[in-house]
């Protein structure tokens, strides 16, 4: 597979809820290894795009194609768990951790399909069960160490700080072995120092797991610094896309953010 190949193609995606069109006729491609930012004012339809890509919503119209090696397959309309298994993982804007479970268990859950054994082994605690459980725990601990959460692995997820919760969301998503990672406002609620650390972390995991990343973020400095390409949504439509440089100077983008007067 060449570096420049499209790993994901979205073709004229439309999502309507009753009479409201949240996303209209949206098309874009993600190249393998790219880090793309998705920005836009509140209510522009960014999270709806994520929800379509991950199968939470089936698009009203349009298709999503996932390109793996030489086979191209449509994933639009598949249930979310199948899409995750095909290699698209996400974090949630309004953090959705398994609150009453330990940090370690949160990550171990995400190894569910990649390292599984049949029910038989769990009912009878066969040697395979112990072996696999040991590996899952080791892998989960390694991921937690990478995201600087190792110390807190036995705490309940609900007792983490805000920044830790966001990092645990990322750890959990990585545990599903994704090729494409969708990050929904990972820096929301973080202070400048935490944001700085986060951007290093994103670069680190991108390298380490050779990920393609699509990032929704309101912190412009973070987006401008990290992303190679930026897409701008407004009222469910793509109003601009290009390099950070181009986006900064786009008249339409400035209008969308600051109003027509400027």
Partner 1 sequence: MGLFVQQIVNGLALGSIYALIALGYTMVYGIIRLINFAHGDIYMIGAFVGYFALTTFNLPFGVSLVLAMLIPAILGMLIERVAYRPLRKSPSIAVLITAIGVSLLIENLAILWFSPDPRPFPQIFPNMPLDFFGIKISIPQIIVFLTSVALMIALNFLVQKTKIGKAMRAVSQDKEAASLMGIDTDRIISLTFAIGSALAGAAGVMVGVIYPRIQPLMGVMPGLKAFVSAVLGGIGSIPGAMLGGLIMGLTESLVTALISSTWRDAIAFGLLIVILLVKPSGILGKSTREKV
Partner 2 sequence: MAQQTKKNSTYDGYIALASALLLLILNLILVSGKMPAYYSGILGFMGINIILAVSLNLINGIAGQFSLGHAGFMAIGAYVSALISIYLQWPFIVALLCGGLAAAFIGILIGLPTLRLKGDYLAIATLGLGEIIRVVILNLDITKGARGLTGIPRTTTIFWVEAIAIITVIVTINLMRSTHGRALLSIREDEIAAEAMGINTTYYKVFAFATGAFFAGIAGGLFAHIMGYIAPKNFDFMRSIEILVIVVLGGLGSITGSIVATIVLTVLPEALRGFAQYRMVLYSAMLIMMMLFRPQGLLGTRELKVSDVFKFFSGGGERDD
Site stretch for partner 2 (CB under 8 A), options 7-15, 38-46, 94-102, 160-168: 94-102
Interface with partner 2, residue 117, by CB under 8 A:
yes
User: Does position 188 bind partner 2 by CB under 8 A?
Assistant: no
Q: Does 17 bind partner 2 (CB under 8 A)?
A: no
129 sits near partner 2 (criterion: CB under 8 A): yes
Using CB under 8 A, which of 53, 97, 170, 227 touches partner 2? 97
Q: What is the DSSP string of the chain?
A: --TTSEEEEEEEEEEEETTEEEEEEEEEEEETT-EEEEE-STTSSHHHHHHHHTTSS--SEEEEEEEETTEEEE-TTS-HHHHHHTTEEE--TT----TTSBHHHHHHHHTTTTS---HHHHHHT-HHHHHHHHHHHHHHHHHHHHTT-GGGTTSBGGGS-HHHHHHHHHHHHHTT--SEEEEESTTTT--HHHHHHHHHHHHHHHHHTT-EEEEE-S-HHHHHHH-SEEEEEETTEEEEEE-HHHHHH-HHHHHHHH-TT-
User: Which parts of 49-68 interact with partner 2 (CB under 8 A)?
Assistant: 54-56
For partner 1, give the closer residue by CB, 100 or 251: 100
Residue 135 interacts with partner 2 (CB under 8 A): yes or no: no
Q: Which one of 3, 42, 119, 260 is in contact with partner 2 (CB under 8 A)? A: 119
Print the binding letters for residues 24-63 with partner 1: x by CB under 8 A, - otherwise. Answer: -----------------------x---x----x-------
> 94 contacts which partner out of partner 2, partner 1, none, CB within 5 to 8 A by kind?
partner 1
Judged by CB under 8 A, the number of residues near partner 2 is 48
Stretch that binds partner 2, among 11-19, 67-75, 85-93, 226-234 (CB under 8 A): 85-93
Pick one of 124, 193, 259, 262: the residue that binds partner 2 (CB under 8 A).
Answer: 124
Measured between alpha carbons, how far is 7 from 2 in angstroms, rounded to an integer? Answer: 10
Closest CA to 90 of 199, 157, 173, 171: 173
Is 214 near partner 2 (CB under 8 A)? Answer: no
Residue 76 found at the interface with partner 2 (CB under 8 A)? no
CB nearer to partner 1: pick between 4 and 94: 94
């Amino acid at each position: 597979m060449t570096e420049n190949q499209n790993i994901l193609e979205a073709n004229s995606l439309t999502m309507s809820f009753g009479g409201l069109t949240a996303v209209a006729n949206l098309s874009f491609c993600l190249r393998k290894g790219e880090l793309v930012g998705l920005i836009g004012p509140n209510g522009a339809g960014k999270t709806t795009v994520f929800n379509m890509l991950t199968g939470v919503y089936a698009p009203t119209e349009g298709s999503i194609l996932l390109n793996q090696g030489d086979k191209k397959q449509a994933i639009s309309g598949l249930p979310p768990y199948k899409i995750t298994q095909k290699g698209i993982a996400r974090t949630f804007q309004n953090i959705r951790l398994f609150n009453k479970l330990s940090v370690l268990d949160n990550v171990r859950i995400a190894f569910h399909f990649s390292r599984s054994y049949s029910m038989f082994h769990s009912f009878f605690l066969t040697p395979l069960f112990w072996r696999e459980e040991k590996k899952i725990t080791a892998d989960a601990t390694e991921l937690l160490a990478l995201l600087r959460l190792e110390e807190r692995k036995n705490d309940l997820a609900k007792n983490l700080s805000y920044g830790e919760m966001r990092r645990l969301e990322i750890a959990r998503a990585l545990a599903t072995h994704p090729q494409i990672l969708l990050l929904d406002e990972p820096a929301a609620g973080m202070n400048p120092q935490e944001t700085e650390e986060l951007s290093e972390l994103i670069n680190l995991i991108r390298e380490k797991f050779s990920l393609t990343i699509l990032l929704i973020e309101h912190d412009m400095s973070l987006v401008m610094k990290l992303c190679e390409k930026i897409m701008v949504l407004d009222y469910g439509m793509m109003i601009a896309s290009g390099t950070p440089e181009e986006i900064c100077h786009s008249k339409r983008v400035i209008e969308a953010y600051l109003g027509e007067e400027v």
